[in-house]
Amino acid sequence: MTHKIFGSELSPFSVKTRSYFRYKGIPHVWTPRTPDNAEEFQKFAKLPLVPLVVTPEETGIQDSTPIIDEMETRFPEPSIHPTDPVTRFISVLLEEFGDEWGNKWMFHMRWARQADQLSAAGRIVGYNEDDAAKQEMVDQILERMTNRVWFVGSNEATAPIIEASLRDMVALLDNHLADRPYLFGEKPSYADFGLWGQIYNAWTDPTAGSLLNHSQNVLGWVHHMLW
């Protein structure tokens, strides 16, 4: 009874979902979304967005939070929710914060500077300097994505605020994770998955990666959550 996850390594919501499946031990196949599997993807997807999980019953579920919520009902143990109701509320709040504000960090840092833009676009297409067709695709991605930073509220006025917020959060996390492997102790929670997807993806980019590589406790958490 295997689930199929259509996703992308550069999608924070996709890797968030995959990390959850790995932690829970839910049988699954990670399937990078490509033009070659477009027909199968469209059969189950209501929106052209990843992640998409196809269940063994051939039901499609999209959006990382509803996916995780549905899987928690199917695979309740080990639970990702703290037993204390106040702590559980904080965990849910941080998951939402990661999805909504954390995405501003990742998206802004990825598409605001040329080095990060080229790194991300090249990975999306499997960039090879000798491949003219892929270079054209890189150029198309750069044009599309750099014109979309406004979508997360990134502009000249807000850029310093977004970047300062990321630096502050990394510092807080590094201090918090000094004496525990996960946000609430010995196992990952809803909050961990929500924040981690954004921070892991930011870490794969040059500028944010250089910041995170100096935060050893956060880096350890990133690796714990990856596998």
Could you report the per-residue pLDDT of 58-88, keeping only the tens digit for each? 999 999 999 999 999 999 999 999 999 999 9
Query: Do 3-74 and 85-226 fold alike per CATH?
Result: no
User: Which residue's structure tokens are 């990661």?
Assistant: 98
Distance of alpha carbon 74 from the chain centroid: 23
From CA 144, how far away is CA 139, in angstroms rounded? 9
Average pLDDT in the 142-157 region? 89
Task: Tell whether the model's pLDDT for residue 127 goes beyond 70.
Answer: no
From CA 120, how far away is CA 146, in angstroms rounded? 11
Delimit the domains of the chain by residue range: 3-74, 85-226
Average pLDDT of the chain?
Answer: 96
For domain 85-226, the CATH architecture is Up-down Bundle (1.20)
Q: How confident is the model at residue 150 (pLDDT cuts 50, 70, 90)?
A: confident
pLDDT in tens, 88-117: 999 999 999 999 999 999 999 999 999 999
Tokens of 187: 């196992």
pLDDT at 128: 60
Residues sharing a CB contact under 8 Å with residue 49, sequence separation 6 or more, in sequence order: 62, 63
Tokens of 177: 């994770």
pLDDT at 227: 86
pLDDT in tens, 172-188: 999 999 999 999 999 99
From CA 9, how far away is CA 15, in angstroms rounded? 6
Tokens of 51: 């992640």
DSSP 37: G
pLDDT at 130: 64
CATH superfamily of 3-74: Glutaredoxin (3.40.30.10)
Give the global pTM: 0.95
